[in-house]
Structure 1
Amino acid sequence: MKINEEGINLKPRKKLWGTLLGMILAVTITAGCSSPQTQVEYPTKPIKVIVPLAAGGGADILARTVAKYSPLEQPMVVVNLPGGSTVIGTMEAYNSPADGYTLLCANPDAMMAVYLGGTMTTPAWKDMEPLATLVYDGNVVAVSKDSKFHTMQDVIDFAKKNPGKLTWGSAGSKGYLEQVSAEIWEKAGGLQIKYVPFDSTVTARTAAMGGHVDILFGAVSEVVPGARSGDLRPLAVSTAQRSGLLPDTPTLKELGIDIDTGLHRGFMAPPNTPKPVVDILERALKEVYDNPEFLKTIENDLYFEGQFVGAQDLKQLLEDRYPIHERLVKLIGAQK
């Protein structure tokens, strides 16, 4: 042990200085790694909401209703960009700056379907930032009030005896509704029914009511008005349980066609939108959903069934749904 002239042990002093130096370095490193929570001034200008379908359809109505009840300090401005089976509007939103000032009112299932069907070459559904969905919209098979078909079984029986003579219409080409419908006809006995694509369910609905196509396959929210006016006759819904909006219409499962599907309607932001902005938008959408007036409006006036799915759960939902659409695309390929 080394002792200086005053008789003090020097080795412990070195240990003491080493300990103090380590503490100083630790504090310095910790301070350098930490940072105050990022503060975001958002929004400071109007937010554009792109609807990739024609005005009057389910996505358009939802976007405008959310804009009406939005708690954000800046307005949400809805812009319709239909065409290309939703590709034009979707890619416009996809390629917009990732600053939260351009959003897409989206049906994630439809986005996956269009990509897998080959119409869209970019996996927008995978790259974009999911914010939330606010409604779940089942699908329904319907015919004109003047149709000779009064039940789903009538359609099946006629199609079996007359392959290729019936036509059915819905929104888009090689997209969600075409894929799901193909599964219905396949499970109903491999029926051959010609598909006629339209730019929206609204135009397909008009064609069906006018007798220009034999069968309409569309969202419940878009068929209910025609059903209640008596212009359309719903034959079956695609959801697991009967729709509260069409309580007298049987499910496809009741008829022996094992299918359960519908659309989660909501919003997405361009890829790499900052998380603080995503969080603000998700909270705003949840606030809209929690507004009793909003729920009353969508259920009583717009014929939607409310169902909120937040950003993280929506990511998982998309991952779970992707294999289903892969199978449906193969089914369409087998039929064409």
Structure 2
Amino acid sequence: MLPALFHTLSRRAGACLFAASAVLLAGVATPAAAAYPERPVTLVVTYPPGGTVDVVARLLAPKLSSVLGQPVVIDNRGGAGGMIGGAYVARAKPDGYTLMLDASNHAQNPALHSRMQFDTLKDFAPVSLLLRVPNALVVTPSYPVKTVADLIKLGQANAGKPVYFASAGNGSAQHLAGELFNLMANTRLEHVAYKGGGPAMVDVMAGQVPVMFASMGSAWQHIKNGKLRAVAVGGAKRSKAAPELPTIAEAGVPGYESYEWNAVFAPAGTPAAIVEQVSRALAQVLKDPVVAEQLAGFGAETVGSTPAELDAFRRAEIAKWKKVAAQAKLSLD
């Protein structure tokens, strides 16, 4: 009987020792995660200062700093359609102190480049889809296109007189929005690439190139002051900023949907607890009435997704634009 009792007591003692060890280990791990962040957090913006992505970053950073309790420092690393900043973040230490605010090219670059310095899906941990801004079909005010049907008619005729559309450059979100329109509307609009969205829009306002699938974020002010005429928006539903404008889908191209979007990512391997913490903080920031009002002012639809929702969204976007690039025979290699 004594040996049996000794065996039972030994087992219980072992179980207690294991449980105590687990508690001690948890006690070591939990404060480290709970203490994040203990120093400033760097938010790498993959586009230069002054553009829409940078404006969004500078709007959100002070609010995010308040929620996290540490400064959020913006580091602009623009160039190569977001890939310079992306390469930097992909190599950063995965500790939550380097985050990346990226845009639609995050999902479009893999469709256009067979060789990149990073793997979009493997090298970044999704944190939160912040917002989506529908592309707007805009034209020079004097151009004889007032509806989507007008543009389709001109774009399908194309008899010795091509219809040109401007974009911020080859492979830009505006370029792909136009190519998507060509594929879905069976038009042959000719692309004119500029070195940036600003110069492209200036030439559309001046009538040098008559059409652009511009971001609402950058075009809205020019639409309001009459320097551009908006024909339709590229979202799945009408924009709250301009409810009188039809969507491209309802105006003649069923299923058409094109957004420019912003999202936050962390280097792959960043602890899940930190990713979740930042994701919740961003969702809180986006609910701030001042932030929401300013974003809605240029047609942005705030989201504030979970990491899993952003992962599903980016995978769907990558698949969509790979299909468009293949059908339109687009490549930047």
Query: Which bracket does the TM-score occupy, shorter chain normalised?
Result: 0.7 to 0.9
Deviation per residue, 1:5-43 (Å, 9 max, x gap): xxxxxxx22211111111112222333344224223433
Contact kept, 8 Å, 1:170 with 1:197, in 2: the verdict is yes
Equivalent positions of 1:148-187 (< 5 A) are 148-162=144-158, 165-187=162-184
Change (3 A) 1:143 1:222: same
Contact kept, 8 Å, 2:134 with 2:299, in 1: the verdict is no
1 CA distance for matches of 2:41 and 2:172? 28
1 CA distance for matches of 2:169 and 2:94? 27
1:326, CA displacement in angstroms? 2.4
2 CA distance for matches of 1:130 and 1:334? 27
Q: Is 1:188 the equivalent of 2:185?
A: yes
Aligned to 1:23: 12
Aligned to 2:286: 289
Change (3 A) 1:80 1:242: same
Consecutive unaligned residues in structure 2, runs of 5 or more:
none
1:299, CA displacement in angstroms? 1.6
Contact kept, 8 Å, 1:85 with 1:119, in 2: the verdict is no
1:130 maps to amino acid = P
Aligned to 2:234: 238
Q: Is 1:59 the equivalent of 2:53?
A: yes
1 CA distance for matches of 2:92 and 2:144? 48
Q: Secondary structure at the match of 2:108?
A: helix
Quick check: 169-178 or 266-275, which moved more? 169-178
Instruction: Name which of 194, 212, 217 aligns with 1:216.
Output: 212
1:334, CA displacement in angstroms? 7.2
Change (3 A) 1:202 1:49: farther
The number of aligned residues is 322
Deviation per residue, 1:237-268 (Å, 9 max, x gap): 11122111122222112222121232332211
2 CA distance for matches of 1:282 and 1:249? 33
Contact kept, 8 Å, 2:232 with 2:245, in 1: the verdict is yes
1 CA distance for matches of 2:171 and 2:239? 26
Q: Which structure has the bigger radius of gyration? A: 1
1 CA distance for matches of 2:194 and 2:61? 26
Q: Is 1:147 the equivalent of 2:143?
A: yes
Contact kept, 8 Å, 2:109 with 2:171, in 1: the verdict is yes
Q: Is 1:84 the equivalent of 2:86?
A: no
2 CA distance for matches of 1:60 and 1:334? 28
Deviation per residue, 1:193-252 (Å, 9 max, x gap): 222334543333223223332211122222211110111111121112211112222211
2 CA distance for matches of 1:305 and 1:195? 28
Q: Is 1:118 the equivalent of 2:113?
A: yes
Q: Is 1:261 the equivalent of 2:258?
A: yes
Contact kept, 8 Å, 1:53 with 1:200, in 2: the verdict is no
1:65, CA displacement in angstroms? 0.4
1:79, CA displacement in angstroms? 3.0
1:99 maps to amino acid = D
Consecutive unaligned residues in structure 1, runs of 5 or more:
1-11
Alignment RMSD: 2.5
2 CA distance for matches of 1:82 and 1:74? 24
Q: Secondary structure at the match of 2:321?
A: helix
Aligned to 1:299: 296
2:111 maps to amino acid = L
